[in-house]
């Protein structure tokens, strides 16, 4: 998108009035989106985002400006506007560039895919959901594919490009009996081309999963409330780790002393059966990229090892503020956002415990097979999550489905109360919002057991 001579001139302009480091982030992203409702295609759209952001650092201070005009002249003006904010007189150096090009493999490019193929996926999924049960009264489906091209130059000599394709297919269903309605949702996604729909995503199965949850919850009783053991299944169960723990390990919070985990490196923060990892390098996963949005290769970051805090997630500015190595974790939604530390694919590592034995020995409690949305305060670690699909357990036996359950607690306490971790890891995709916008992430875990947690519900007390 730029040549190295132009990039060097722009970075020099960024240093004219201040800054000891400068960076250009260029983006060219195209997206196809198609939606369907109750057996009909509703919308089809194509969008393209093109622009550049320029960031200048001076010590632990930062200035950022962006432009949709990526000509050399426009970006020099943008660089000077950012530099003026810092009002420093020292001038940083621009080093010679070392070029690296990356690309995520894709067998079938989205630009070679026709809209009739996208529409067929929607129609097949909606038909499958409707066929599951006459109680399914509404079905909506969404297809998305994204081709994100980024190019990064910085004053330390980085010149890197990456091509980042991804696609996701979502089905939302509503089941109703005339008096009550319940919903079900499933939405797999991968970092790959359109071949995902022949190798990874079966849209009829996605629709059936969503319909099954809706119908099951329609006939479920209200969940009882109280303090109780909870077994949380894999996949979406990883949202507990993502929200209640790892947001509090991002430099976005830690560098400002706004995290419950500040100053706790090499201290115990979880039970010894807990190892937590964030890894942006896993091929094909929704949250994987070859480089982060500062141009550094992503890596496997062991955050907690056998209960001991080993690392935070740290971007360049966070590294300056925290005196902590960068972890390849800098991300942003688009060129209109300055980057900051974010997750990629976050999961509890597999353990050694038998997954059925967890339930047999838990006594009375809740088995949460699918988690819903939630919120967390990263400073205190307080969280509240909904359970999209859950089952009441009595004397170690699953007795019936229950609806309306919520899990409430402190992330720091829950980590210490995990007493069982299963052997089989799986993950699910999602979108995560923070200071640098919305980015694709994956959450995952094996089945785990929390020995005691507060469960909210309308079904009396357990």
Q: Mean per-residue pLDDT for 209-232? A: 97
Residue 360: the pLDDT is 97
Find the mean pLDDT for residues 319-337: 97
pLDDT tier for residue 461 given thresholds of 50, 70 and 90? confident
Q: Which residues of 375-398 are buried (b: 16+ CB within 10 A; e: fewer)?
A: ebbbeebbbbbbbbbbbbbeeeee
pLDDT value of residue 90: 64
Average confidence (pLDDT) over 47-53:
98
| Residue-range domain boundaries for the chain | 4-218, 221-456
Residue 281 has pLDDT above 80, yes or no: yes
- pLDDT over threshold 90, residue 368: yes
- Ranking 117-121, 205-209, 239-243, 389-393 by mean pLDDT, the lowest is 239-243
Note the CATH architecture for domain 4-218.
Answer: 2-Layer Sandwich (3.30)
pLDDT > 80? residue 216 = yes
Question: Does residue 380 carry a pLDDT above 90?
Answer: no
- Rounded to an integer, the average pLDDT of 15-44 is 95
Specify the pLDDT at position 374: 77
Whether 235 has a pLDDT exceeding 90, the answer reads no
For a pLDDT cut of 90, what percent of the chain falls above it? 89
Per-residue pLDDT tens digits for 133-190: 999 999 999 999 999 999 999 999 999 999 999 999 999 999 999 999 999 999 999 9
Q: pLDDT at position 240, please?
A: 86
Q: What is the pLDDT of residue 217?
A: 96
pLDDT value for 460: 87
pTM of the model: 0.94
Mean of the per-residue pLDDT values of the chain? 95
Average pLDDT over residues 36-51: 97
* pLDDT at residue 86 greater than cutoff 90: no
């Amino acid at each position: 998108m730029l040549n190295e001579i132009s990039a060097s001139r722009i970075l020099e302009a960024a240093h004219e009035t201040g800054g000891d480091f400068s960076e250009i982030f260029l983006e060219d992203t195209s997206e196809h989106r198609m939606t369907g409702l109750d057996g009909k295609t509703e919308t089809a759209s194509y969008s393209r985002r093109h622009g550049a952001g320029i960031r200048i650092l001076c010590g632990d201070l930062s200035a950022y400006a962006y432009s949709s005009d990526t000509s050399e002249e426009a970006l020099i003006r943008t660089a000077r506007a950012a530099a003026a904010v810092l009002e420093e007189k020292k001038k940083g150096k621009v080093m010679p560039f070392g070029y690296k090009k990356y690309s995520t493999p894709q067998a079938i490019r989205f630009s070679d895919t026709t809209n009739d193929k996208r529409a067929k996926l929607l129609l097949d999924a909606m038909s499958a959901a409707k066929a599951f049960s006459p109680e399914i009264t509404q079905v909506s489906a969404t297809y998305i594919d994204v081709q994100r091209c980024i190019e990064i130059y910085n004053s330390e000599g980085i010149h890197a490009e990456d091509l980042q394709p991804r696609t996701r297919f979502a089905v939302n269903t509503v089941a109703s009996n005339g008096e009550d309605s319940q919903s079900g949702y499933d939405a797999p996604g991968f970092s790959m081309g359109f071949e995902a729909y022949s190798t990874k995503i079966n849209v009829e199965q996605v629709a059936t999963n969503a319909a099954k949850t809706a119908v099951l919850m329609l006939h479920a009783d209200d969940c009882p409330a109280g303090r109780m053991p909870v077994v949380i299944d894999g996949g979406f169960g990883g949202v507990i780790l993502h929200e209640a723990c790892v947001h509090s390990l991002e430099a976005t919070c830690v560098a400002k002393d706004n995290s419950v985990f500040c100053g706790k490196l090499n201290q115990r923060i979880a039970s010894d059966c807990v190892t937590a990892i964030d890894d942006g390098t896993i091929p094909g996963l929704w949250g994987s990229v070859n480089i982060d949005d500062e141009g550094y290769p992503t890596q496997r970051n062991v955050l907690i090892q056998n209960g001991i805090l080993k690392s935070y997630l740290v971007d360049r500015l966070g590294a300056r503020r925290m005196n902590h190595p960068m972890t390849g974790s800098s991300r942003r939604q688009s060129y209109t956002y300055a980057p900051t530390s974010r997750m990629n694919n976050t999961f509890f590592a597999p353990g050694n415990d038998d997954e059925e034995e967890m339930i047999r020995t838990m006594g009375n409690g809740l088995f949460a097979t699918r988690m819903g949305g939630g919120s967390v305060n990263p400073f205190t670690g307080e969280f509240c999550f909904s359970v999209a699909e859950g089952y009441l357990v009595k004397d170690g036996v699953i007795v019936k489905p229950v609806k309306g359950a919520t899990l409430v607690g402190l992330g720091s306490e829950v980590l210490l109360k995990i007493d069982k971790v299963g052997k089989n890891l799986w993950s699910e995709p999602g979108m995560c919002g923070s200071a640098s916008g919305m980015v694709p992430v994956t959450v995952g875990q094996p089945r785990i057991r929390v020995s005691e947690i507060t469960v909210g519900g309308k079904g009396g007390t357990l």
